[in-house]
C-alpha cells in the first residue's frame, strides 16, 4: 500500500464520494454516534467547503473530516443538525479513516490539511464575509493526544450526550 505522502487532500466533489464516506462513517462510529447518509448529504449540500477528503492515487476516498458552522463556541446537538453559514465556529462531527489505512498518519495529515483549508477559505472571503474563528470537536478520551498534537486544546468533559461515550471538548482558535 502506498504511503500517506502519496495522498491528495481536497474537498469532496460528488454524491458518490459522500456515499463512500458514509461506508467508513458506519464502520467507524456506533449507530447512535454516526451520521446518516441524509445528514451527510445535507452537510455536503450546505457546507462542502468543510467536507475534506484524503484520496489515494486512484482517486478512492481514504478518510475525511466533516463539519458544519455554528454560532456557538462548542459543538452542540444543533450543530449536528444544521449548518449556519454565518457561524464563526466550525464544529467537526467526523474524523474518519478507512481501517486499511489506519495508524499510518492519515488522520494527523487530514487534521493539518483541514486547518490549512479553513485558513485558505477565510482568506478567500471578502472583508464583509463571515470568517471562521474557531475549530471545535468532541474527542474520545483515548484520542485526545491525536488532537492535541494537531494543535487543539482540551477543555474538559463535554455536556453533549451523544451515544454512550464520554466526549471531551477540544478547540483550536485561529
Ligand X SMILES: CC(C)(COP(=O)(O)OP(=O)(O)OC[C@H]1O[C@@H](n2cnc3c(N)ncnc32)[C@H](O)[C@@H]1OP(=O)(O)O)[C@@H](O)C(=O)NCCC(=O)NCCS
Mask for 19-58, x = binds ligand X (CB under 6 A)? ---------xx-----------------------------
- Give the x-and-dash track for 67-106 against ligand X (CB under 6 A): ----------------------------xxx----xxxxx
Distance CA 152, CA 134 (A): 10
Binding track, positions 114-153, relative to ligand X; x by CB under 6 A: -------------------------xx-xx-xx-------
Residue 107 found at the interface with ligand X (CB under 6 A): yes
Backbone angles phi, psi at 50, to 5 degrees: -110, 5
> Are 170 and 154 within 8 A, CB to CB?
yes
SS (H, E, C) 15-48: HHHHHHHHHHHHHHCCCCCCCCHHHHHHHHHHHH
Amino acid at each position: 500500500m502506498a504511503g500517506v505522502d502519496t495522498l491528495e487532500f481536497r474537498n469532496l466533489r460528488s454524491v458518490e464520494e459522500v456515499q463512500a464516506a458514509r461506508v467508513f462513517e458506519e464502520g467507524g462510529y456506533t449507530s447512535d454516534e454516526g451520521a446518516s447518509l441524509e445528514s451527510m448529504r445535507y452537510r455536503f449540500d450546505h457546507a462542502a467547503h468543510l467536507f475534506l477528503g484524503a484520496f489515494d492515487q486512484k482517486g478512492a476516498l481514504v478518510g475525511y473530516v466533516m463539519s458544519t458552522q455554528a454560532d456557538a463556541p462548542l459543538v452542540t446537538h444543533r450543530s449536528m443538525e444544521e449548518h449556519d453559514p454565518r457561524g464563526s465556529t466550525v464544529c467537526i462531527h467526523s474524523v474518519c479513516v478507512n481501517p486499511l489505512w489506519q495508524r499510518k498518519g492519515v488522520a494527523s495529515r487530514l487534521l493539518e490539511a483541514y486547518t490549512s483549508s479553513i485558513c485558505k477559505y477565510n482568506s478567500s472571503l471578502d472583508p464583509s464575509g463571515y470568517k471562521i474563528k474557531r475549530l471545535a470537536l468532541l474527542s474520545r478520551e483515548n484520542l485526545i493526544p491525536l488532537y492535541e498534537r494537531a494543535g487543539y486544546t482540551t477543555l474538559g468533559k463535554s455536556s453533549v450526550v451523544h451515544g454512550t461515550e464520554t466526549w471531551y471538548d477540544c478547540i483550536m482558535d485561529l
